[in-house]
Amino acid sequence: MIDLEKIPAHIAIIMDGNGRWAQNRNLPRLAGHNAGMIAMKEIVKAASSLGVHHLTVYAFSTENWRRTTEEVTGIFKLLIIYVEKELNELHQNNIKVRILGDYEKLPADAVKSLERSLKTTKDNTGLQFNIALNYGGRDEILRSVKKLAKEVEMGRMKADAITEEDIANNLYTYGIPDPDMIIRTSGEMRLSNYLLWQSAYSEFVFTDMLWPDFTREDFEMTIEVFQNRKRRFGGR
């Protein structure tokens, strides 16, 4: 049983396995992404009801552009459908949407849909649902460093005065606490360029389950695994 008094404040997820889920059923890859969207919807609901403050999902990485045009286009279409169908429910449940990444490089109709969700939910005070889109951890850190280098170049700060906090404040996740736990499905055990700065002391929970099969019960089980660990943050 999970302890509702010790729910992690920030949970991040690498939603992996959509393609393999579809392949196992002799379905097109987009069918797997559609099933993954349905699973994501249920986990957002679960996180909100359990009292999680931040839920961050890895929806589209900077490397995902290497996939076929058909798959990339299909993913964005599914994203628009998800936002259009779920926006009212997200808003009614006091969920705030935030986008992490250079999402303005997405197709115009996807950007328009995303910005409508940001505007509609901006004042909500419940779960903050962070969607990482066109996001890469190295790109994010480089972006932060370039901003600080510009400040030094303009004479507004000294290089030797730059702190970790300065770097963090220029990341996409500024104002968001580092994830307490990161879940990755599908049996893979790597970060894949996800939240590299923020995951310094995150607890990792890996499962062989493919993302579309991941349920609320599985989500609660990963939280239970987290709660049974002792976090030391470099101490003893």
Summarised one tens digit per residue, pLDDT across range 36-63 is 999 999 999 999 999 999 999 999 999 9
Q: Please provide the DSSP assignment of 100-135 as one string.
A: ES-GGGS-HHHHHHHHHHHHHHTT--S-EEEEEEEE
What's the pTM value of the predicted model, to 2 decimals?
0.95
Of the pLDDT bands very low, low, confident and very high (cuts 50, 70, 90), residue 230 is confident
Q: Are 213 and 230 in contact (CB under 8 A)?
A: no
What lies within 8 Å, CB to CB, of 35 at 6+ separation is: 18, 21, 22, 212
**Whether 124 is catalytic:** no
All structural domains of the chain, each given as residue ranges with its CATH number in brackets, are 4-136+178-227 (3.40.1180.10)
Task: List the catalytic residue out of 24, 64, 109, 123.
Answer: 64
Q: Express each pLDDT in 84-96 by its tens digit.
A: 899 999 999 999 9
Cα 230 from Cα 146, distance rounded (Å): 37
Among residues 16, 130, 134, 180, the one annotated as catalytic is 16
Question: Has 16 been annotated as catalytic?
Answer: yes
The span from the CA of 130 to the CA of 152, in Å, is: 31
